[in-house]
Amino acid sequence: MTAAEEDTPWLRLARISRNDEENKRLWNGYQKYLLRPDIDEYQRQMENPKFADIVDLSDAEIHSIQTEIPDLPKELGKHGPIFLTNRNTKIQRGLGLDGFYFAFRVVIENTTFKRLLSLCDAQFAEHLDAFKCDFEGGLIAINANFGSTTIFSNCHFIGRTYFDNTKFENAIFDQANFQNACAFENVEFAGRAVFKDSIFTNSANFYCVEFHDFTSFDLAAASSAAVPLSFQYAEFFKRPPRFFGRALHEDTDWTGVKLPDSKAQAALPRHLLEEDKRAYEQLRIKCGALGKVEDEHLFFRKEMELTGRLSPWYTRATYWLYRLVSDYGYSYWRPIAGMGWLWALWSLFYALHFMARDQLHLCMDRVELLRSIAGLSFANIFAVFGFYRRFPSDLLVDPTVVTVLLTVSETLLGFVFLFFLGLGLRTRFRLR
């Protein structure tokens, strides 16, 4: 241990023994000892099974720790904090804090970790504030659970970074620099996830990540080249991701991504919905420029959904129908189903109308009448193709006003469904 590390009592406690399990036991037990005077906070943290399972240290063990590290705090206020390192410190050896419980706020400033920092299964009950730190040997925080706010501001992640199966409340990676591959697989961001002005030099994987609130990848100045980002099967529950100012790589993967639905955004005020609409617009434009048609239309559909919600009441129905009939021009099965329902429903209308006309009823039996009605309905839907010549019908020899209204309306609706069928086929099969 270097002289700089010797001057850090918390770091000395983390390495008080040569046995990693013993270090974890003594650290966690000392956290419980320090928190015991604050009865309310102690009871609150006892609700966490990780804290409740910590074995209390004996008085002799507490005395031994305080004797060996005399400058280690013997009491700590509710808001701590734990200064894990001094400023401008270089940690030469690897630091393993796997399974450590941090009952108080943790602060790490201007520190260089020359070797690996491991936080696997670590529990942070309060804030973790890391400012201007360099993780040269990498950072692994698999299965970690971070507190209400986690900040890695102006930090350089030079080695590989893994936050797999980790849970954050609010995470702020403001101006962070990931110089190597980083993985956030199966991570849950229960609150805000802010990667504003962060730089990804290699690649970043957000596979199966849950983003429950505001998510930002904004970049004030596009000073870095685009790199592959994967959001495969990620889920954005409340707000879409923001990518203002950041260039997208052609290998950005949105496969299986789930974006907020109308129910999740129902309680949002209008100004937030307008922000989300612009976020979708930016993603649509960027994906379109890369020729990623599927992704472009994915964000286009969400943009249209918000446009409809933000439109005046008298035009809102048109967006609703646009979605219902064709999923904003993406589906070709919906127009086909619509034409099927149109054919069946109008056939019923024709049957009710013509069966009520005695003169026609006397001229043909029921089977012949229904066959003629089905052919008439089909011909009206596809009138643009001239199917009247294929299905000549005596039903239109003496048309009434009702007959004219039924045939005209069916022809118009059939043309609408045909239009959206063509639009869906063009979109899905890249017919340009």
> Where among 303, 324, 345 does a domain terminate?
324
Task: Flag whether pLDDT at 208 surpasses 90.
Answer: yes
Which of 61, 82, 81, 83 has the alpha carbon at shortest distance from 17?
A: 61
Contact 370, 351 (CB under 8 A): yes
Whether residues 144 and 289 share a domain: the answer is yes
- Tens of pLDDT, residue by residue over 261-306, are 988 888 899 999 999 999 999 999 999 999 898 999 999 999 999 9
pLDDT, residue 314, reads 86
pLDDT score, position 313: 86
- Is 378 found in the same domain as 257? no
Domain edge (last residue) among 324, 348, 376: 324
Instruction: Mark 35-45 as b/e (b = at least 16 C-beta within 10 Å).
Output: beebeebeeeb
Same domain, 264 and 144: yes
Co-location of 235 and 264 in the same domain: yes
CA dist 52 and 42 (Å) reads 10
- The pair of structure tokens assigned to 237 is 């529950």
Confidence of residue 78 (pLDDT cuts 50, 70, 90): low
Residue 164 inside a domain? The answer is yes
Residues 217 and 273 in one domain: yes
239 and 202 housed in the same domain: yes
pLDDT of residue 1: 47
User: For the chain, what is the domain count?
Assistant: 2
- The per-residue pLDDT of the chain, averaged, comes to 90
Instruction: Evaluate whether residue 18 is within a structural domain.
Output: no
Query: What is residue 23's predicted lDDT score, i.e. its pLDDT?
Result: 96
Domain termination residue (choose one: 324, 349, 377): 324
Q: Is residue 371 part of a domain?
A: yes
Residue 393 has pLDDT above 70, yes or no: no
285 and 420 together in one domain = no
Closest to 122 measured CA to CA, from 105, 148, 97? 97
Q: What is the rounded CA–CA span in Å between residue 135 and residue 154?
A: 11
402 in the same domain as 286: no
31 falls within a domain: no
pTM of the model: 0.86
Q: What is the mean pLDDT of residues 120-125?
A: 96
Residue 50 lies in a domain: no
Q: Is 275 found in the same domain as 135?
A: yes
Percent over 70 (pLDDT), the chain: 91
Q: Are 139 and 204 in a shared domain? A: yes
Question: CA 27 to CA 16: how far, in whole Å?
Answer: 9
DSSP 320-343: HHHHHHHTTTT-SHHHHHHHHHHH
Domain that holds residue 242: 82-324
| Same domain as 273, residue 140 | yes
Residue 19, domain member (yes or no)? no
Specify if 42 maps to a domain: no
b/e sequence 164-203, b meaning 16+ C-beta within 10 Å: bbbbbbbbbbbbbbbbebbbbbbbbbbbbbbbbbbbbbeb
